[in-house]
Structure 1
């Protein structure tokens, strides 16, 4: 917080003496936030955004911070509020919950950017009409208020065929990574799926079609249950496996996690299954498979939950709420787990 009036503000910055050794130089001044070097503001921002953003929000009341921090962090994925999931929008504000700590907060949504099309890695994808049957898309970090422009997109894609959005980026490449926004779209006219992808500032979207295989069956994507996590974009299949999208050398899906044992989920009845990936409090994710059955004129719904182990590429069935433990599932129709 901003130091109280009349009290010195102590700041330590790294320096070097005549022999080249690093030293810590104490600097004192009264209310000298205006004099903070950009590097220090950026470092403070990084520390505050690691797991929680409460203090970061509080610091936005300080004018120098409000002007410097968003400019410095930009759309760098290191500063995405990736552990925060948006649950609902009420008026001009949206409620976010931290899947690691259970903390919640409300943030003002910049409605002048349009409607919220999707939320990925804690960032919001906005779409606003731009004329000639197209929408202007923007990516916004709701915490830092950083905004990036994306290529326009046809209105029909947004209103009818849009399934999900994700963000892909390199985690450790030595430089600030540039996020790639990914859209998963169902092309209903041809009964195929399409992946569109672009980086902030690009003029057009690149795309890749995923057509039916040789047997005439459609790819079994359950796009609305997709999830961005740690710089990757994951898509569940209706039969209960997890795919990861890779963009190079060209967009393609690979299996990220599969069921080691058949759980009699009746994979041949995949049209009666719906799969959803959800963030978990252990910084990982869970797979929820919903099964719909017609019994005596009624539709019975059952939920099966799997723990996703990306390192080993496996899915472990969680038998009951005891196995779920303190993990949490956030879907509009289901909330499991406490912490």
Structure 2
């Protein structure tokens, strides 16, 4: 059937919106108004239209448009395919040959084979496209062994506290031979098995609490977003979480509560948690385990973040730096604007210029499309 180029607009559809943005407004009338039909006037996704009866989302293969012939209770294809994932408001329904058709504009209908209804109050206002990290709307949980022991090569907040207990420097926060020997001496004095490993009993013998032993590991930044959040809200959730660490010391492998130290990728990890991003393959607990100090490298390699041109960088993007002597990624920060970032760099979490001697800029990745 030839596509209609003119339709009749019922007076009740006084405002027609394209993805929430007004494209045409028609005066209320007691008569029917005739107007030339354009692609943009078909989208009726607007909570302002009280005459609507529901919402549709197009399936992955797209949705064919139909016209409905009420006299014969028949439908005809109009030839246009609406894109996958597009969302539409419908005002009425009919059933033809067991298939439900939804009216999205005057004599423009989609069917239940090509689209599904959904409740907008339960559907996110924004979501990353497929291929990027999908935003989580329930509290992210810790990944890994909460209450892990400390042994050779472990880093992070618990190691920093143990090193501090023995008066050892945290210039590099690692469970090294000096730390192991100090722990062995303590264990010998208090009658614990002399292993050099800090387990819960050894931790408590240092005067630390059992609750801290587990709480430090289990901290995941609370979600600061919900299903009604916009892209800007997600970016600000990231940045606000990062700001809570300002002034705290740089601890290699650190990624826990904001009142403890943190390193560059640990800061980013907790900031992502606050914005509903649960990274795969690396986490705050994994970050403290031997050999995992350089999570900035994993983030750089992570294709769930979108690589973008340096010239297109913007607030909320991740910026990466390489070691000038090796060319290997060794640092990451969160952009506040084109030239400023928040990052953890020895000796503290700070706001700094991206040009402030962090190494060579490798590139920029986007968390939220």
Is the pair's TM-score, using the shorter chain for normalization, greater than 0.5?
no
Between Structure 1 and Structure 2, the one with more strand by share is 1
Structure whose CA Rg is larger: 2
Between Structure 1 and Structure 2, the one with more helix by share is 2
Q: TM-score, normalised by structure 2?
A: 0.25
Q: TM-score, normalised by structure 1?
A: 0.26
